[in-house]
Amino acid sequence: MKIASWNVNSLKVRLPHVLDWLKESGVDVVCLQEIKLVDEKFPTADFEEAGYNVAVHGQPTYNGVAIISRYPLEDVKIGLPGDKSDDQARYVEAAISHKSGSIRVASIYLPNGNPVDTDKYPYKLKWMERLRRHAEKMLAKEEAFVLAGDYNVIPQAEDVHDPVAWSDDSLFRLETRHAFRRIVNLGLTDAFRACHAAPHQYTFWDYQGGAWRKNNGIRIDHLLLSPPAADLLKGCAIDKHVREWEKPSDHVPIWCDLDIAA
């Protein structure tokens, strides 16, 4: 079973890319971020025609996440627990049953946090702490799960083209990386790093300044696996060729292959 994450930067604009990529990649589940749609405008019919089920947490104009799956999505949970006043659509999770059990998948759009001297940054850190507590509760159940999404976190210096230039940025400053480590250190596996040691493997390139051409990228889209899911990990890859498509998202898909026969 292949499970992917992709920040599409507007599903309205990127729907053809997503449908083409589903066909090309053969992934079973893709977690989307920044769909920028309300639930009512989600192109459910297009995905159903392609053979997929959907779970959506939409919002007007900004944010919005979804899960697209070949297999039925059960026990869908909308929103990250821990703050009822948080009205930003950044989290949806669902369970997928298969022959030998079930796996839970979450689509995460972690707040950007810039500029760091505004309330955006403490919101990011609080959101990360909420995610840590939620992951802790999920881990206690000892189930297979994948937390897939745009984390807006550069984990290490090898994951950015110019670490010095990014040192004070919300995505790379120490406090952010510490908060990310606190989540991973619960016992989660970064699927990409479990499969590849090579530095400078990116999932995002800015639209500006010829960033793609110069390979000025950052690795901020991650698949974090619970121990039972990590035991099933067969491979992981970043589909960077999608960044060459006409009018691309600034993020590309990342996927992992788990040894699950559905």
| Chain residues that interact with DNA, rule: CB under 7 A | 7, 9-10, 12-13, 34, 36, 60-62, 111-112, 114-115, 120, 150, 152, 169-171, 204, 206-209, 218, 220, 247, 250
Query: CB 161 → DNA: shortest distance, Å?
Result: 11
Q: Output 38 or 194, the one with its CB closest to DNA.
A: 38
In total, the chain counts a number of residues equal to 262
Can you tell me the distance from the alpha carbon of 151 to that of 203, in angstroms, rounded to the nearest whole number? 11
Query: CB 219 → DNA: shortest distance, Å?
Result: 10
Q: Output 53 or 170, the one with its CB closest to DNA.
A: 170
Q: Cis (ω within 30 of 0) for the bond into 115?
A: yes
Q: Output 28 or 250, the one with its CB closest to DNA.
A: 250
Query: CB 212 → DNA: shortest distance, Å?
Result: 9
The β-bridge partners of 4 are 30, 255
Q: Output 26 or 210, the one with its CB closest to DNA.
A: 210
Sign of CA dihedral 111, 173, 147, 203: positive
Query: CB 105 → DNA: shortest distance, Å?
Result: 20
- Residue 67 CB coordination number (10 Å): 25
Q: What SS3 class is residue 112?
A: coil
Query: CB 137 → DNA: shortest distance, Å?
Result: 26
Q: What is the residue-wise DSSP string for 79-110?
A: S-TT-TT-----EEEEEEEETTEEEEEEEEE-
* Orientation of helix 120-140 relative to helix 174-184, angle to 10°: 10
Query: CB 194 → DNA: shortest distance, Å?
Result: 23
Residue 65, C-beta contacts closer than 8 angstroms, at least 6 positions apart: 31, 32, 33, 35, 56, 57, 89, 90, 91, 92, 107, 108, 109, 149
Q: Output 6 or 71, the one with its CB closest to DNA.
A: 6
Report CA-CA distances (Å) from 55 to 75, 130, 192, 249: 10, 21, 25, 21
Q: What SS3 class is residue 197?
A: coil
Q: Output 111 or 155, the one with its CB closest to DNA.
A: 111
Q: Output 83 or 206, the one with its CB closest to DNA.
A: 206
Query: CB 127 → DNA: shortest distance, Å?
Result: 12
**Residue 161 DSSP label:** S
